Structure 1
């Protein structure tokens, strides 16, 4: 377990430079351990060690992620090594000198000699880049990689380290280089960009670059995947996956022409045979192949119920290997047409808690980051249950005994009846629907008197303006309403005095910069979607979050470290209090503060990774922990929050 504060040694820091702040020493904390586990694998590759043994490597998500290596023939797990502080890796690549490189999901890169028991942390690839996506091997032991949020491409060589080959962002005002490929015949690098799609050809020696994606495809979100395969007589091809919407383009690297547009082709991995007359890939769960010189419509299905390939390899005898996202090792022999499938044993890892709620069943509910899944913890009995079946839950709420989930990706909503067993395949929870161009629902509020739940949305990648969604339980109807503030999304919601009080954020989906400068407080009618009033409670605040009904009857909320009090009847801001310093706005704020009014008279909250309490009379703030996020309270007055993968409690 990493970096956990031990209760006996808990030590409290002051919020800097803010008057009226106290410090406290307490031992009332308890760690309830990880709540969610997964064996979700990501970046994978087939490699050979120095003895020529065929191995397959993959990364299982967790805190930290682990690099796993298996013997392709025996299926034995030979390597299980933690990857520093990284919680995952989307790709890996083996350089020409045999070194395996792994891009960490925290901006660092790792190296590993296949067959050994050591992983080396190479440090941050490029300063300011917090996420590394795909890697590709170049020549003479070099590798190239893709970054976020600076939209950059780096080169790494063991002799001279990291360098920025694109000399800055590949495309101004874009954040993602999501995919990358190297073409040895021309020594050019190809980089896929989002959240607005671009395909950039880069000369890594000079930094010269050009966009080769036809204009007709530039309305797509991402160039999400790139793979180069050989062709007959040198007609090599670059396969280009475009999202939103799964379209793969085939680009002839000799002629410079886009030859095909293929629907529903999995592009986590494909492979071509050395002779150039066949490409192997997965689509719709099936293993397929086709000659890239001819239309993909002529593809042959080689095996069904295979899954989605994370990595491919062609053996010396022509056999085709694949590792799927479902952890199946596939071997296909083109001569005998035999297909073998073996499930690899992937050890589960704890995953971060993404969302928390105290449910109508008396349980603390949690949702898992990226790998998804949900869990419950009973604070009375200590019973823990893991509940698989849903993707990443961003927010939860309940009305009566039904629980509502806002699920990423693609703006999905589910309803679970807590009177009956958890059975996603049997329709409990059942999907209510999804909203086009909307992605994440962090802010939610239930309205018992109207039989309605309201979801506040963050839009899809590269878009501004989050919708307000209403779900009418009586009519079983999901409705979408545009944001009451143009180009802003929804970060706070509370129902009060016959209307919904909405707090906005200037942020949109990832990969787009705000066009507005301050968040707005809005009165909104959920019956007809009309805006009743608007005001700016905190000048220049980037997001309004943490709404509660305070002890004085006003609505309390936070914006960039400042607390505001809003009179819901008079519909005006009563006053504001600067509580603590807040970090400078970077790429986005979708949620921030969580506030709870406690029976002991204090207001408890989390924000900026801290747990604190506020005296509502004096407005003195006391920091209780410097490592905390999210916040809920059970009926006994115990507060629950997260520290990474672990659920913690604090008893005031």
Structure 2
């Protein structure tokens, strides 16, 4: 958002910052001086909704487990009492309506919420779509007088208009269409069948057949020389401000454009001028030398850490798409990454200068999108030396796939739906095979209870063996190969598969669902189960509780003979591994 700050009368670019596993913040950047200010939210990790209410208040809608609505008095810099809509985990964007009230879309309720800034009350106006498979109402627009316009998805997609005066939802446009932008005069939507742009009168919601003058098309993005399109906000002096990952820019407005045909602009990227808050560690990996590497939750960044010296480094965004890095592996002294939301493969050489803007280092390789977008299964080094990743399908589709990157040629191969309509939940490897588990998860759709699978994939051959877990057992990310065995976290059990007999030979019980497994040695699997750490002997199937942990562990890795693990933004280490017997 852009505001005129009542505290000092200066124009500020305002960002709503998300800090996974921690507490989010609101960031202010003075558009002239470049000075920054950060204000911590009362609770929650932050994002996605942000509305400037008449330069008096900022209305902030957040996610991820519980949607919070925060309101900041700009002059006093004080928060009002937080409002919590029942049953909603996300605010998916917000807008200011022509009635002076603030409206927001949600997940998983696919609802439209109305906030009254005068009375500080929050009202649920109802579901935008009657299809229970549609969990998302996003984004929302209030520019058309008398209406709030909403997209919904993802089982089916469409558009709705909420008439403010009558309080009713109205269908308009072709089924499957999605709104792209709205002004006080026009609604631009993209046809779901052919991608053609259709324009509607903002007063009547009726389609227009005449050519739209270029001056009526708002400038919502700029295109960088690398082809990337970046959303922008217009400043008071007609300059444009935008954010690219951990950096921002302000540029002069290029010549006016027509839809889909805009001039490229050269930008000078500047670091966001406040200290970045702690953010959850999402992935951990050892370089086999002196450094630990990892990624941040929903920040599209990586980091390195020297456990001996205590020094660390955080990167800018590793690729153009937003999201986060799931898979991290070192091959030939380069860091190979797999990333949500673009289905990207990325290679970074730490010995060379950083130049992501020109796709030199890190370099984004061929994507597996749009069919596959989320590397849910993470990434491993296969028996053939390739970089293998397990994927979940695009929004609104049940399914998944496997991909392989050749570490020498950077050639990318992809195999869709090794198990039809199931995502790859976890991936492991040894000197012979790739192993994977599947489940009924998906992006943008309700989780399905399905018979989860265990598969063996031979490079060059494909799927060579498959097992079906009992229906009540849910497979997840936890899978590791060690000593000719494969340990899989399936519910509150660790199922142990023997490579030679090609059968599950043991089931070890643990008290909680296992979310992460790591090979301690060729016989012992370390299991992170809720806030407990267990060790499992894969030869005998005997499990042993070791200790209580400081919280839910998202990632763990062996580095220099020690076991490191992450809880939210904090990194922990067992200074010695407790003897097994």
Interval containing the TM-score (normalised by the shorter chain): 0.7 to 0.9
Q: Quick one: distance in 2 between partners of 1:228 and 1:560?
A: 50
Find the partner of 1:208 among 168, 177, 183: 168
Find the partner of 1:135 among 85, 94, 102: 94
The match for 2:223 is 285
Q: Quick one: distance in 2 between partners of 1:142 and 1:444?
A: 46
1:554 aligns with 2:485: yes
The match for 2:503 is 572
Confirm or deny: 8 A CA contact 1:181 1:191 kept in the other structure.
yes
Alignment of structure 1 residues 482-561 onto 2, 5 Å: 482-496=416-430, 498-508=432-442, 510-514=443-447, 517-529=450-462, 531-550=463-482, 553-561=484-492
1:612 aligns with 2:533: yes
Confirm or deny: 8 A CA contact 1:46 1:311 kept in the other structure.
no
The structure-2 alpha-carbon separation of the partners of 1:118 and 1:465, relative to structure 1 and needing over 3 Å to count, comes to same
Q: Quick one: distance in 1 between partners of 2:333 and 2:254?
A: 54
1:374 aligns with 2:302: yes
1:637 aligns with 2:561: yes
The structure-2 alpha-carbon separation of the partners of 1:513 and 1:64, relative to structure 1 and needing over 3 Å to count, comes to closer
Alignment of structure 1 residues 229-244 onto 2, 5 Å: 229=184, 236-240=185-189
The match for 1:4 is none
The match for 1:33 is none
How big is each residue's C-alpha offset from its partner over 1:31-64, in whole Å with a ceiling of 9 and x where there is no partner?
xxxxxxxxxxxxx233463997655433244443
Q: Which has the higher contact order (CA 8 A, sep 6+)?
A: 1
Find the partner of 1:104 among 39, 44, 62: 62
The structure-2 alpha-carbon separation of the partners of 1:523 and 1:253, relative to structure 1 and needing over 3 Å to count, comes to same
- Partner SS, residue 101 of structure 1: strand
Q: Quick one: distance in 2 between partners of 1:522 and 1:305?
A: 39
What RMSD in Å do the two structures reach over aligned CA positions?
3.9
Q: Quick one: distance in 2 between partners of 1:432 and 1:306?
A: 15
The match for 1:447 is 382
Confirm or deny: 8 A CA contact 2:331 2:407 kept in the other structure.
no
Find the partner of 1:228 among 183, 188, 206: 183
The structure-2 alpha-carbon separation of the partners of 1:548 and 1:465, relative to structure 1 and needing over 3 Å to count, comes to same
Confirm or deny: 8 A CA contact 1:435 1:480 kept in the other structure.
yes
1:398 aligns with 2:398: no
Residues 175-184 or 238-247, more deviating: 238-247
The structure-2 alpha-carbon separation of the partners of 1:615 and 1:406, relative to structure 1 and needing over 3 Å to count, comes to closer
How big is each residue's C-alpha offset from its partner over 1:112-167, in whole Å with a ceiling of 9 and x where there is no partner?
2222221234221x212111122122355521111112211111124262221125
Confirm or deny: 8 A CA contact 1:48 1:55 kept in the other structure.
yes
- Partner SS, residue 629 of structure 1: coil
Residues 459-468 or 237-246, more deviating: 237-246
Confirm or deny: 8 A CA contact 1:522 1:533 kept in the other structure.
yes
- Partner SS, residue 89 of structure 1: strand
Question: In the TM superposition, what is the alpha-carbon distance from 1:184 to its structure 2 partner?
Answer: 6.5
The structure-2 alpha-carbon separation of the partners of 1:455 and 1:595, relative to structure 1 and needing over 3 Å to count, comes to same
Alignment of structure 1 residues 67-466 onto 2, 5 Å: 67-69=26-28, 77=36, 80-95=38-53, 98-106=56-64, 107-124=67-84, 126-138=85-97, 141-157=100-116, 158-159=118-119, 161-167=121-127, 169=129, 171-182=131-142, 185=145, 187-195=146-154, 196-204=156-164, 208-215=168-175, 217-218=176-177, 223=179, 226-229=181-184, 236-240=185-189, 249-259=198-208, 278-285=216-223, 308-312=230-234, 319-320=237-238, 322-326=240-244, 327-329=248-250, 346-350=273-277, 351-391=279-319, 392-417=324-349, 424=356, 425=358, 427-436=360-369, 437-441=371-375, 442-448=377-383, 450-466=384-400
Confirm or deny: 8 A CA contact 1:99 1:112 kept in the other structure.
yes
Q: Quick one: distance in 2 between partners of 1:333 and 1:492?
A: 47
1:625 aligns with 2:580: no
The structure-2 alpha-carbon separation of the partners of 1:607 and 1:432, relative to structure 1 and needing over 3 Å to count, comes to farther
Question: In the TM superposition, what is the alpha-carbon distance from 1:206 to its structure 2 partner?
Answer: 5.7
Q: Quick one: distance in 2 between partners of 1:640 and 1:252?
A: 58
Question: In the TM superposition, what is the alpha-carbon distance from 1:482 to its structure 2 partner?
Answer: 1.9
- Partner SS, residue 85 of structure 1: coil
Confirm or deny: 8 A CA contact 2:221 2:231 kept in the other structure.
no
Q: Quick one: distance in 2 between partners of 1:498 and 1:73?
A: 59
Question: In the TM superposition, what is the alpha-carbon distance from 1:395 to its structure 2 partner?
Answer: 0.9
Residues 400-409 or 568-577, more deviating: 400-409
Q: Quick one: distance in 2 between partners of 1:323 and 1:645?
A: 30
Find the partner of 1:594 among 513, 516, 524: 516
Q: Quick one: distance in 2 between partners of 1:72 and 1:550?
A: 55
Q: Quick one: distance in 1 between partners of 2:379 and 2:183?
A: 45
- Partner SS, residue 522 of structure 1: strand
Confirm or deny: 8 A CA contact 2:284 2:557 kept in the other structure.
no
- Partner SS, residue 561 of structure 2: coil
TM-score normalised per structure 1: 0.73
Confirm or deny: 8 A CA contact 2:160 2:172 kept in the other structure.
yes
Give ranges in structure 1 of 5+ residues lacking alignment.
1-43, 230-235, 264-271, 287-303, 583-591
Larger C-alpha radius of gyration, 1 or 2?
Answer: 1
Give ranges in structure 2 of 5+ residues lacking alignment.
256-264
